[in-house]
Chain A
Amino acid sequence: MKQFSVNGSIYAADTAGVCSALYELGGMTIVHDASGCNSTYSTHDEPRWYDRESMIYISALTERDAVTGDDEKLIGDVCEAAARLKPNFVCLCASPMPAMIGTDMDYIAAGIESRTGIPAFAVRTNGIGTYQKGASDAFRAVSRRFCARETEKTPKTVNLLGLTPLDLPAGADETLKALLRAHGYTVQASLGMGGAFDDLPKLAGASVSLVTSGCGLAAARDLYERFGVPYVTAFPVYGKYAELVCSLLATAALTGKCVDACTMRPGRGVNAVAGEGVTGGSLAAALAMETGEGWDLIAPVEGDPSPTLPFDLRPLTDDETRLAMGRYERVVADPLYAPICPPRTKLIELPHVAYSGRCFLRRAPDALTRAGFETILESVK
């Protein structure tokens, strides 16, 4: 049998990843879908929805549209809305039905761009892939589209890549800016929270990128390949680990070599963090530094591009996740893993929006801050 779950949750989908990645760039993102994708995204996957305006819409696809393959309706609807609201760009992505009937989203995007003059592109989704793939492809798409020219590197500047609230705490952009400022850096441009459309061309001029989640890796690699901007892969958890990350930024900028700091952990331990690779791996590394114990990573997000160690586990099903968790004495994971975590393993709850949405937002400690990380440390004792 393929993937199923009894009483378990599911990670946010690729379409949510696209919307989350592009949320703050002033573009218009349209999910080609009947109705559920936007409702799910705006209710469960997007903590910014109430407070911060962003042009995320659905196409309101109907059976008739699907049967007749009426692409013109979507093109016309987007052009009409874009003419009124004047977005910086238009991004299209597809839910399962358009994917099933083979809707050519690239063709539709080209039609919109030619009629409106507004840059338009499609990110390939099908409502089946994970949020990481959607966000990752969306970040890379805007980076490639709007940062086309090499510029001179500005010393002590950092790109923040992959900051979606699906993986990172709300306000992480401000916390990270403060951390970097304290170490003599300024933020050149951001992909995700705190990002600005006008800053996108500046991505090429940073001395180094900080990739805070797996969602930012594809864009980081692209910027490295096209413009030679090296990157450090780490979610700088408060304390000694954040200090290490800041020093690695300097090393990467100096040497031009990329560094995976989320795998800087000792050998196989009796504890694990289950979750997204970069944030989870970094937390495991930080916990190892602070507690002196070994902490491994269980990376259950399918296709997670984050770097891992050979003994880290990549379960694909709930059964495999149960087996993986059963190998450890303690596992830090989202509270909705409770039905999956075997009784002999102690589940230490750390909410992850990409898994449990807004269910536990109010009691989610922010590992980037002193208070948040101390709460986590206290809970693992």
Chain B
Amino acid sequence: MLKPVFDAALTPQKRIADADPGALFPSGLEYNPPARGSRNIVHMAMKVPESHQIYICAAGCLRGVVLTAAEMNAMGRMSWVAVREEDLTSADLEENVYAGTAAVVERLDPKPRAVFVYVSCVHVFAGIDFAWLLDRLRRRFPGIAFVDSYMIPTMRKSGLTPEQLTRRGMYQMLEALPVDETAVNLIGNDVPTHRNSELFWILERAGRRVRDVTECETYDEFLRMGEAALELAYYPPAEEAARALASRLGRRSLYLPFTYEADEIEANASALCEALAMDPVDLTACRERAENALKRAREALDGRPVVIDYMASTRPFSMAKLLLDAGIRVTKLYVDGVSGEDLPQFAYLKEAYPQLLLSPTLDPAMRFRAENASDVVAVGQKAAYFENTPYFVNMVFGNGSFGYEAVEYLADALVEAANAPKDVRRLISHKGMGCESCL
């Protein structure tokens, strides 16, 4: 057996004081830790009820998406067409995609209401005419909405990521229905937003009803999202989806970036109130609840070190700032980069807490994690794995929390995590947290 060679010197861990936010760690070979809670394109598109996914890819790419569907007991909504070796140099690439997709759809019984047709890097690299191809499919199967979809990780740094493209594509079949001014769409989320967040409180106070694909049970219910007057997003990868949908349907869109910063939370609330043409709301009670929860967390943790990973939240630096300023001993962040939204918090932490450690998750040396179990309290699955601690907050991108409620939720979760060890392996092996799993 390979002997563990974990050595801090091998891993480019560094103090935030020494870190450049534009290049936290050198890029190179990448390791993939066994934390599977994040949702991928299959999980996302499955949110559209009565839809089907067809992937046209090489076996290696198909395997991951097919087994994602299998693990979520959704193989009945997944089909594929294999790219063969001869296809790589074939002039008939488009014809093969068309014929394969059509052959699959012919056999689907009952026919799905929508089909996500996923092509791969080789198709995009070869310059496939996807619009022409989908047009043919729409003419042949007029009752089905075909959505151009992309599994193109090679192009992940060349524009919108496959995740962003899928979130945008999920709403492509919505048509502009007569506007219902009382309806607001929550766009691009993987899980329902907490009903006790101030987002819902404000919307309800304004007499608005919320529609969210994560809570639609039928395709017809989903299509009614076309009535909404406002497309609202707070999850960064969903911003483009909300903007594109609003632009296409002639609606307004509003992006309220997820944050743990009090001033940003207040600014989000103000922006929402303005968009809803209502008077500003007073969030003092929400803020006080959050502050009290943080005090409880500080007491429960009693100086125990806390580590955070980037998969727990889109704003790990904002989270770290919140906790450190509340007197909670955050010692390390597992991050491979800094998002633009988190840059001010990065700068603040660099100045105020220069000893805070940053560690990559992708670096090859991360294969060799801590051998001895620790009592560190981790926020996020990757942090729990790397620190080898059973005390962790099982959170993937906020778990549907928002605003001051997100602060309260995090603080309460820390208290719970500090007191109750969890079965890390079982929990983090579950692919797509919140999705059904056959494991």
Residue ranges of A at the interface with B (Cβ–Cβ < 8 Å): 1-16, 24, 26, 28, 30, 33-40, 42-45, 49-50, 52-55, 57-64, 66, 77-78, 80-81, 84-86, 95-97, 99-101, 126-130, 336, 339, 356-360, 362
Contact = CB atoms under 8 A, between A and B. Distances in A.
Interface stretch (B75-83, B248-256, B302-310): B75-83
21 contacts: A4-B103, A33-B153, A34-B154, A34-B156, A44-B64, A57-B364, A60-B28, A62-B154, A80-B26, A85-B10, A97-B154, A99-B88, A100-B88, A100-B89, A126-B58, A127-B58, A128-B59, A128-B60, A128-B84, A129-B85, A339-B76
B70 interface: yes
A1 B103 contact: yes
Nearest to B70: A359
Interface stretch (B14-22, B119-127, B166-174, B197-205): B119-127
Given A77-B28, A97-B125, A362-B439, A10 B66 contact: yes
A15 B36 contact: no
Contact of B122 (A42, A45, A80, A100): A100
A194 B341 CA distance: 48
Contacts of B139: none
Contacts of B400: none
Interface of B: 1-2, 4-5, 10, 26-32, 34, 36, 57-64, 66-67, 70-71, 75-76, 78-85, 87-89, 96, 99-100, 103-104, 107-108, 120-122, 125-126, 151, 153-158, 362, 364-365, 367-368, 425, 429, 431, 438-439
Nearest to A43: B36
A336 B438 CA distance: 12
**What are the nearest 7 A-B pairs in CB distance?**
A40-B64, A13-B60, A127-B60, A34-B153, A77-B28, A57-B29, A13-B59
A189 to B, nearest CB: 15
Contacts of B368: 53
A53 B367 contact: yes
Given A34-B153, A81-B28, A128 B63 contact: no
A58 B67 CA distance: 20
Contacts of B125: 63, 66, 97, 100-101
B411 to A, nearest CB: 30
A97 B122 contact: yes
Nearest to B109: A6
Contact of B64 (A39, A62, A84): A39
A359 B2 CA distance: 27
B83 A4 contact: no
B156 A62 contact: yes
A93 B158 CA distance: 24
Contacts of A99: 85, 88
A81 B82 contact: no
A78 B30 CA distance: 10
B1 A24 contact: yes
A62 B157 contact: yes
A6 to B, nearest CB: 5
Nearest to B126: A100
A45 B63 contact: yes
A44 B59 contact: no
Contacts, number: 217
B2 A26 contact: yes
Contacts of B64: 36, 39-40, 43-44
A85 B364 contact: yes
Given A44-B67, A53-B4, A359-B71, A10 B59 contact: yes
Given A40-B60, A96-B58, A80 B100 contact: no
A19 to B, nearest CB: 11
B157 A64 contact: yes
B121 A10 contact: no
B85 A128 contact: yes
Contacts of B87: 2
Given A7-B75, A66-B154, A60 B30 contact: yes
Given A3-B81, A9-B66, A128-B58, 18 more contacts: A4-B81, A6-B108, A7-B78, A13-B63, A34-B121, A37-B61, A42-B32, A53-B368, A57-B31, A58-B30, A60-B29, A63-B154, A81-B364, A85-B10, A96-B58, A96-B120, A130-B59, A358-B439
A96 B86 CA distance: 12
Most buried by A among B29, B64, B431: B29
B38 to A, nearest CB: 10
Contacts of A129: 59, 85
A38 B60 CA distance: 10
A235 B21 CA distance: 54
A334 to B, nearest CB: 10
A248 to B, nearest CB: 30
A362 B151 CA distance: 30
Given A16-B63, A36-B61, A57 B4 contact: no
A63 B104 contact: no
B364 A357 contact: no
Contact of A2 (B84, B104, B122): B84
A96 B75 contact: no
A213 B85 CA distance: 25
Contacts of A127: 58-61
A7 B76 contact: yes
Contacts of A362: 439
A117 B193 CA distance: 55
A9 B67 contact: yes
B12 to A, nearest CB: 9
Given A13-B60, A55-B367, A127-B59, A96 B121 contact: yes
Given A43-B431, A54-B2, A78 B154 contact: no
Contacts of B362: 60
Contacts of A10: 59, 62-63, 66, 80, 82
A85 B31 contact: no
Nearest to B424: A50
A84 B363 CA distance: 11
A84 B364 contact: yes
Contact of B10 (A4, A42, A84): A84
A230 B158 CA distance: 53
Contact of B2 (A39, A49, A52): A52
Contact of B30 (A4, A38, A126, A360): A38
A64 B158 CA distance: 8
A177 to B, nearest CB: 15
Given A127-B58, A127-B61, A359 B67 contact: yes
A81 B71 CA distance: 34
B59 A35 contact: no
Nearest to A13: B60
A61 B63 contact: no
A228 to B, nearest CB: 31
Contacts of B36: 43
Contacts of B154: 34, 61-63, 66, 97
B164 to A, nearest CB: 15
